[in-house]
Amino acid sequence: MIEGRIRHLDVANRSALIVEENGNEITVNFALRTNVEVIEHETVGLMSGELEDLEEGYEVEIEVASKNEDGSIICDSIACIS
């Protein structure tokens, strides 16, 4: 699992740049089947969402499906924790 902040989100290309607490930057690619969960503000619980519901600056947890040779990852699920 990777935890970090979304520095850049490119919904059209289904990718994001995530910055971990230690400053490490990771390029994340979202598959069509990627599970997206966002905070529901009334209950402060997680609910199912879409890639478009994410925003730059959100703190997220990412489950990695696989890693590419260039160091980028393919995301199995992403959950907003902020």
CATH of the domain at 39: 2.40.50.320
Structural domain span for residue 75: 2-80
Beta strands per DSSP E along 1-82: 2-10, 15-19, 25-40, 45-48, 59-67, 73-80
> What is the band of 61 on the pLDDT scale with cuts at 50, 70, 90?
very high
Q: What is the pLDDT of residues 43-58, one digit of tens each?
A: 667 778 899 999 999 9
Q: How many domains does the chain have?
A: 1
- Does the pTM surpass 0.85? The reply is yes
Q: Count of CB atoms within 10 A of residue 51's CB?
A: 18
More confident residue, 46 or 75: 75
Q: Are strands 73-80 and 45-48 parallel, antiparallel or unpaired?
A: unpaired
- Average pLDDT over all residues of the chain: 91
Give, in order, the Cα–Cα distances in Å from 29 to each of 25, 42, 50, 70, 76: 13, 30, 14, 12, 9
